[in-house]
């Protein structure tokens, strides 16, 4: 038996003759550049058969008594395109006409050629190449079938993508074949039949005659078939269908069928109908549209204007934020310097109390330092970093309590007018800071009334939506209005900038309005200024209404924290600034405490490991590598009961600190330090 190996579809063979004939055949095929493989048994041959085998060479004696069921089964199960050629080498005179076994082999192998032996090499090669050519034509047929299948798949994909249904009409038999998509277009289900009569019945009665005339015209002339018609669905809805086709001719050149596509154009027809109706009122619509465009243009201009205003507000807010960061940083650093000055002066005053000249000099220095501390508080107020005591307060009582002070502050040429309601909700604010803010506003109004005039102070409650400077909610508005010289728009833009002032040199710091602005923002409110030259100025301080409207409890003067003076404690003082550390250590030692010093958080932790009897930890907040808050967290892990006091110049520790410890505001005096120690250790 001889057969092809899987080398290529042109020359691969498999064969297994018995004896010398196998070797001769293999040698001849090798000389003819046809590789071959010899199989020793029929089962191996059958298992190696496949689509890539070109032909099989068998010897008659090798299969005469063999079980050919496996081979016959493979031959029957070949793909439709395949008809594998077999060449059977027979004995001389052993052809089918004189050999009944040949008829059996023809039935089993189907495509079989009987070749008598002995044979000439040329004849054998000719027979082999004939089988190769026959097999090659089968491969060509397979390629064409595969290409036709791919083309059919691409065509069907394109039709589905375009929502097109295909149809064919056989002219002589009157047979109509349609795709599933085409059935759906005509209102049928994919599984339903759709004959020519059923097609005609779906067409609108007014379009049927036109459809039939168009078909006859295409058959007679060969012109393309193009028509749009209405169809009636089973639910009685009317749909439009566009049908297009071309004629197909048979071998004799006669028109045999129409092949075409159909598509649902209902949406397009409805759009055309709407367009016709639209054209009927086009002039009115153009006028209406023009009016809409004008409105849209005006709206766009308004939006552009609002955007420009918003951008200006954003730039102003960013400027104020940048100035606030700079101002707060400067004030904080200045506080540290004042801390060293005030602490040392405080101690000097105690040691030179009997020296009158020294006391006078020290008191003068203390007053200057305290004025500097007041200045830093205003700077921190603008930067929204001042320490506030926010509580629920009654502005009516606050203003009434300031009545005498306000009258004395404005002079005799100015009339003070009050517009206060009978009752008003309480607000969340710091009493002292609001009193200072109101006094500043009244003094500013007084300075704007050079020749006398009127200052009006009013209160009112108002609900406001969210805006650039306020969140949505309820507020009480404290207004101070004067009829003075007013401000220009350029001056108004700079009014709350720190150190900006319209007063003469030496008559103002320029921090009054900036402080009030910072205070309002810190209280989640706002400061709004409005002014016109020659008309006057109105300053509105918006303060959020307190959710707690109960009357504030009267403080118990008998319980004064920190009144007990205590000494003799062992205190660990941590500060990276040598001046502040030295001043604080001197104050603590002067109070009678034993003090351990550390210049960093890491050094403080080392000291705490050695010194087990420390009573109190006092640490600065702003330190490199480890802040005071981080040090406090680390200490809590090893000494959870050790009291901790953090000294800082800011009102609040930065977000994310997440630690609850007492704070000592800078600059502090020896008395402040003693009071906090008493509160923590009493």
pLDDT at 145 over 80: yes
pLDDT at 370 over 80: no
C-alpha to C-alpha distance for 599 and 276, rounded to whole angstroms: 89
Closest C-alpha among 664, 622, 627, 666 to residue 643: 664
Please report which confidence band the pLDDT of residue 6 belongs to, taking 50, 70 and 90 as the band edges.
Answer: very low
pLDDT per position as a tens digit, 277-297: 777 777 777 888 888 888 998
pLDDT per position as a tens digit, 591-650: 889 999 999 989 989 888 888 888 899 998 888 888 888 888 889 888 888 899 988 866
pLDDT per position as a tens digit, 309-362: 777 767 766 665 666 556 655 666 666 666 667 767 777 777 776 677 666 777
**Looking at residue 376, what is its pLDDT?**
62
Structure-model confidence comparison of residues 420 and 450, the more confident one:
420
Please report which confidence band the pLDDT of residue 93 belongs to, taking 50, 70 and 90 as the band edges.
Answer: low
CA dihedral 567, 570, 575, 579 (to 10 degrees): 50
Residues whose CB falls within 8 Å of the CB of residue 191, separated by 6 or more in sequence, listed in order? none
Average pLDDT over residues 131-160: 84
What secondary structure letter does DSSP report for 594? Answer: E
Average pLDDT over residues 453-482: 89
**Looking at residue 481, what is its pLDDT?**
92
C-alpha to C-alpha distance for 159 and 526, rounded to whole angstroms: 67
pLDDT per position as a tens digit, 25-58: 777 777 777 777 777 788 888 888 888 888 888 8
pLDDT at 372 over 70: no
Which sign does the torsion angle of CA 440, 441, 444, 450 carry? negative
**Looking at residue 459, what is its pLDDT?**
92
What is the pTM assigned to this prediction?
A: 0.35
Please report which confidence band the pLDDT of residue 551 belongs to, taking 50, 70 and 90 as the band edges.
Answer: very low
pLDDT per position as a tens digit, 628-640: 888 888 898 888 8
**In what helix (H) or strand (E) does residue 290 lie, and over which residues does it extend?**
helix 282-351
pLDDT per position as a tens digit, 162-185: 778 888 888 888 888 888 888 888
Which position has the token pair 């055949």? 25
Average pLDDT over residues 140-169: 82
pLDDT at 566 over 70: no
Please tell me the least confidently modeled range out of 87-91, 295-299, 373-377.
Answer: 373-377
C-alpha to C-alpha distance for 185 and 177, rounded to whole angstroms: 14
C-alpha to C-alpha distance for 616 and 633, rounded to whole angstroms: 15
C-alpha to C-alpha distance for 124 and 611, rounded to whole angstroms: 111
**Looking at residue 325, what is its pLDDT?**
59
**Looking at residue 496, what is its pLDDT?**
72
- 131 backbone φψ class: left, alpha, beta (φ>0; ψ -120 to 50): alpha
Structure tokens at 292: 């809409």
pLDDT per position as a tens digit, 251-274: 888 888 888 888 888 888 888 888
C-alpha to C-alpha distance for 457 and 674, rounded to whole angstroms: 42
CA distances from 674 to 82, 504, 567 (A): 108, 43, 9
pLDDT at 509 over 50: no
């Amino acid at each position: 038996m001889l057969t092809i190996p899987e080398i290529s579809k042109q020359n691969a063979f498999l064969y297994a003759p018995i004896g010398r004939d196998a070797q001769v055949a293999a040698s001849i095929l090798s000389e003819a550049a046809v590789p071959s493989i010899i199989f020793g048994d029929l089962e191996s041959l059958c298992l190696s058969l496949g689509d890539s085998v070109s032909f099989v060479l068998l010897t008659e004696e090798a299969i005469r008594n063999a079980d050919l069921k496996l081979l016959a089964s493979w031959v029957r199960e070949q793909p439709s395109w395949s008809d594998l050629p077999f060449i059977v080498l027979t004995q001389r005179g052993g052809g089918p006409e004189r050999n009944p076994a040949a008829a059996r082999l023809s039935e089993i192998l189907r495509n079989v050629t009987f070749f008598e032996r002995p044979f000439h090499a040329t004849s054998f090669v000719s027979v082999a190449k004939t089988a190769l050519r026959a097999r090659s034509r089968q491969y060509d047929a397979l390629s064409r079938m595969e290409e036709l299948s791919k083309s059919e798949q691409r065509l069907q994909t394109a039709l589905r993508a375009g929502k097109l249904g295909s149809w064919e009409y056989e002219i002589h038999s009157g047979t109509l074949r349609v795709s599933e998509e085409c059935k759906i277009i005509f209102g049928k289900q994919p599984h339903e039949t759709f004959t020519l009569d059923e097609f005609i019945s779906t067409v609108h009665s007014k379009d049927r005659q036109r459809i039939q005339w168009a078909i006859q015209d295409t058959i007679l002339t060969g012109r393309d078939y193009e028509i749009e018609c209405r169809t009636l669905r089973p639910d009685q809805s009317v749909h439009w269908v566009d049908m297009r086709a071309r004629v197909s001719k048979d071998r004799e050149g006669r028109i045999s069928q129409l092949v075409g596509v159909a598509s649902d154009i209902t949406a397009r027809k409805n759009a055309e109908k709407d367009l016709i109706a639209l054209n009927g009122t086009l002039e009115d619509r153009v006028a209406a549209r023009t009016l809409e465009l004008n409105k849209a243009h005006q709206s766009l201009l308004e939006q552009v204007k609002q955007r420009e205003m918003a951008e200006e507000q954003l730039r102003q807010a960013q400027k104020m934020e940048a100035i606030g960061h700079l101002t707060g940083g400067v004030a904080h650093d200045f506080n540290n310097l004042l801390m060293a000055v005030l602490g040392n002066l405080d101690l000097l005053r105690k040691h030179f109390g009997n020296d009158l000249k020294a006391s006078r000099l020290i008191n003068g220095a203390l007053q200057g330092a305290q004025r500097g501390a007041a200045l830093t508080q205003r700077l921190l107020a603008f930067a929204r970093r001042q320490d506030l005591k926010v509580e629920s307060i009654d502005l009516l009582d606050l203003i009434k309590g300031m009545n005498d002070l306000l009258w004395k502050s404005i002079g005799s040429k100015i009339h003070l007018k009050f517009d206060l309601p009978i009752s008003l909700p309480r607000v969340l604010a710091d009493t002292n800071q609001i009193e200072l803010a109101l006094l500043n506003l009244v003094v500013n109004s007084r300075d704007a009334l050079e020749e006398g005039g009127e200052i009006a102070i009013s209160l009112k409650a108002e609900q406001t939506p969210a805006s650039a400077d306020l969140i949505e909610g309820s507020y009480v508005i404290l207004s101070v209005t004067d009829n003075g010289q007013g401000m220009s728009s350029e001056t108004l833009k700079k009014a709350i900038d720190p150190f900006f002032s319209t007063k003469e040199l030496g008559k103002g710091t320029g921090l009054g309005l900036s402080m009030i602005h910072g205070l309002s923002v810190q209280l989640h409110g706002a400061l709004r200024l409005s002014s016109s030259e020659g008309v006057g100025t109105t300053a509105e301080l918006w303060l959020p209404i307190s959710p707690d409207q109960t009357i504030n409890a009267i403080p118990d003067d008998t319980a004064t924290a920190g009144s007990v003076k205590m000494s003799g404690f062992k205190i660990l003082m941590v500060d990276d600034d040598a001046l502040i550390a030295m001043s604080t250590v001197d104050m603590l030692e002067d109070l009678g405490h034993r003090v351990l010093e550390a210049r960093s958080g890491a050094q403080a932790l080392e000291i705490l490991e050695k010194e087990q009897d420390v009573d109190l930890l006092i640490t600065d907040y702003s330190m490199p590598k480890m802040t005071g808050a981080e040090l406090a967290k680390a200490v809590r892990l090893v000494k959870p009961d050790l009291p901790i006091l953090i000294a800082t110049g800011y009102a609040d520790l930065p977000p994310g600190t997440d630690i609850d410890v007492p704070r000592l505001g800078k600059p502090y005096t020896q008395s402040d330090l003693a009071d906090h120690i008493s509160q923590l250790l009493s």
